[in-house]
Amino acid sequence: MDNTFKLKIIDSDNISLDKIGFDKSYVHRGIEKHSFLTLKISNLNCAQANILKQTALASGTDCAVHREVITGKIDLSDCILSGSISELKKISKKLRNQPFRLKVLADEIDKLIEYKTVALKIRNKTFLWGDNIYVMGILNVTPDSCSDGGKYFDIQRAYEHYQYLVKNNADIIDIGGESTRPFAQEVSSDKEQERVLPLIKKIRENDCDTIISVDTRNSDTAKKAILAGADIINDISSFDWDDKMFDLLIDTNVPVILNHSKGTPDIMQNSPEYVYDVVDEIFDYFLNKIELLTSAGFPKSNIIIDPGLGFGKTTEHNLAIIKRLKEFKSLGCPILVGHSRKSFLQETIDSEDNPKLDIATVILSQKLCEKGVDILRVHNVEYHYILKNLFKSFI
């Protein structure tokens, strides 16, 4: 019987071996041979890099290293190691028998392959990272925030907007009393508390279920907001602004959103520059912050990271972060992105019109979902409730 070959490229995330009659008892191991990862490994000396490359070749794949690794003319090299899960496990196993601390590298490779982000339970809600997309609704009680400054400055109007956000299925309500838009000036913690605490208390008088985050870089505001009923601290400075925030986190173990910001809001957009690579610098920043917290006993499961689009970044920086968002998955923490109505979107679509920006935001949100985002921080939660249901069904 004459047969015509039919070839097509398939998504490696949707490999169904059982549908081709593959041995069902071996499906798990079979998937490992067809699922691929690319790892960037930094700061290997020449001996380590050479051994890693040879081990990769012997395992059926390859590792890219600096051209002078073989001559020993450089001190350190970054390496790009690619392979199937099965091949990477073989490499790891072989590295355990090698000198030059390569057993430590093997441990790190295994952790990266096997790690799953731990679920987070707050009140009656369990966040299953990787299985769902969650929506954080923005509620600014400020006179000067971007796009909605002054709109919810009155507590009754703010409370009505909270009701709108809940009605439209926001998973988290993020309440902020200080504008952190580019060139915004500092607000005292007393003034900030006058804005956010009455609203949090009013919500908690009638609602014990909705999850509230407080958007603040001040430890005193954060502490009082937690006592008033907030559940999460969203610190745009990642405790760089107020070092007492670190102590508060260690004392309370309250979940925290660590945001990357290059400088304070009043100066962060004054020609922001990065020494080598924006994504690598932000990755290293978070790596350090996570180590500081966890080494002091703070649970890693309570850390959420936000690469800080627009916080000391040009449009080019923001686009690079979006394109390479998956790299932050290696940190083992859920990822939040706040991109709603931001200036780089205004620049991209050449409009400051909120309805148009909401459309641009939801289009970008769909791309972020594909890149592995866990929480979308947005103004228009109604659009995003539709998006997350569609994404869960079709992607």
CA distance 204 to 210: 9
Separation of alpha carbons 335 and 322, rounded Å: 12
Tokens 């390479």 locate to 324
**Is the distance from CB of 211 to CB of 171 less than 8 angstroms?**
yes
Q: For residue 20, give Cα distances in angstroms to 9, 261, 265, 358, 395.
A: 15, 49, 56, 43, 22
- State the catalytic residue, choosing from 89, 342, 371, 388: 342
- Report phi then psi at 207, rounded to 5: -150, 110
Neighbour-count burial of 282, counting CB atoms closer than 10 A to its CB (0-12 exposed, 13-18 middle, 19+ buried): buried
Element (H, E) at 378: strand 375-378
Residue 125's SS3 state is strand
CA atoms of 225 and 139, how far apart (whole Å): 15
Write the CB contacts of 278 (distance below 8 Å, at least 6 apart in sequence): 313, 317, 320, 321
DSSP letters spanning 252-266? H---EEEE--SS-TT
342 belongs to the catalytic site: yes
How much is the CA Rg of the chain, to the nearest whole Å? 23
Cα→Cα distances 363→123, 142, 355, 356, 367, Å: 31, 27, 13, 11, 7
Cα torsion 49, 54, 58, 62 to 10°: value is: 60
Q: Which residues are catalytic?
A: 342, 377
